[in-house]
Amino acid sequence: MHILEAIQAELAMPYALSPDQVAFYQQHRYIKLKQVLSETALAYFNTVISAQVENMSAETRPLAERSTYGKAFLQLFNLWRLNPAIKGLVFSPRIARLAAELMQTSGVRLYHDQALFKEAGGGITPWHADQYYWPLASDRTVTAWIPLQATPLELGPLEFSAGSHRIVEGRELEISDESEARIAERLRVTDFPHVAEPFDAGEISFHSGWVFHRAGANQSERMRKVMTIIYMDEKMRLKAPENDNQRNDWQTWCPGATVGEVIDTPLNPVLYSADT
């Protein structure tokens, strides 16, 4: 079998989740799953996505001249629309089905994808909750965080405050020095476990929109390369935006969607449904 055919077959093959894994996600709203991608698939997408990021990135400022957000990563969006090879990963039934089964929904739509490349010497990604940015009517959202290489602690892997989706304080904060300080202080006086662990090659994580998370600085001399896919319930409805970031997300990621109705636009296809 040709290497690309083998990768396509892998991306279509279901990953067997146990009831305990689903229960863990439901309780903590994050989970790390090993061997979701083979070494062959990982190496292929590392090459393809790295080339796309290098071609698209317009950041030329030294790290010292950037904001905390700018130091955190190079961020590029909806690569699936630009590169058919990357679309194969983003539209993978294997990963989309995992998202649906963890959330316990009948299926999932794409919200958007993004590459997050943390440069050598790049700073922290401050504590935050993703759904601050999203004009979505429910919390049935999940992000697949896909490192394109093994990610030891020195590279700055994703960290989680397990179960912190229950905390309301801090949800109004965008990613910033303020969010790092205020959320860290709030989490310090709670019993939610702080999980900071390396990722093996082929291991990926899933986290919900309201669970608080961060990433450490990249203390290595190489790029930390990550691809992410954000999924939402296939029945997700658009809510009236509550801040400027949500208004921007509506126009950028869900153009043409109507408040109160299911977000069914060409940019938000159903990627997995148990009903089909």
Tens-digit pLDDT profile for residues 153-167: 999 999 999 999 999
CA 45 vs. chain centroid, Å, equals 16
Low-confidence ranges of the chain (pLDDT < 50): none
CA quadruple 194, 177, 231, 266: dihedral, nearest 10: 180
- Those residues whose C-beta lies under 8 Å from the C-beta of residue 8, and which sit 6 or more positions away, are 88
pLDDT of residue 175: 87
pLDDT of residue 2: 85
- The span from the CA of 154 to the CA of 157, in Å, is 8
pLDDT of residue 275: 85
48 within 8 A of 85, measured Cβ to Cβ: yes
Q: What is the pLDDT of residues 241-259, one digit of tens each?
A: 999 999 999 999 999 999 9
pLDDT of residue 65: 62
Please state the pTM of the whole predicted model.
0.94
- The span from the CA of 102 to the CA of 23, in Å, is 8
pLDDT of residue 165: 97
Domain 3-273 has CATH 2.60.120.620: yes
Best CA proximity match to 247, nearest among 115, 132, 147, 169 = 132
pLDDT of residue 152: 98
* Side-by-side strand order, sheet with 194-196: 125-128, 213-215, 158-161, 194-196
pLDDT of residue 56: 86
Determine the 3-state secondary structure of 114 from DSSP: strand
Best CA proximity match to 265, nearest among 248, 247, 276, 251 = 251
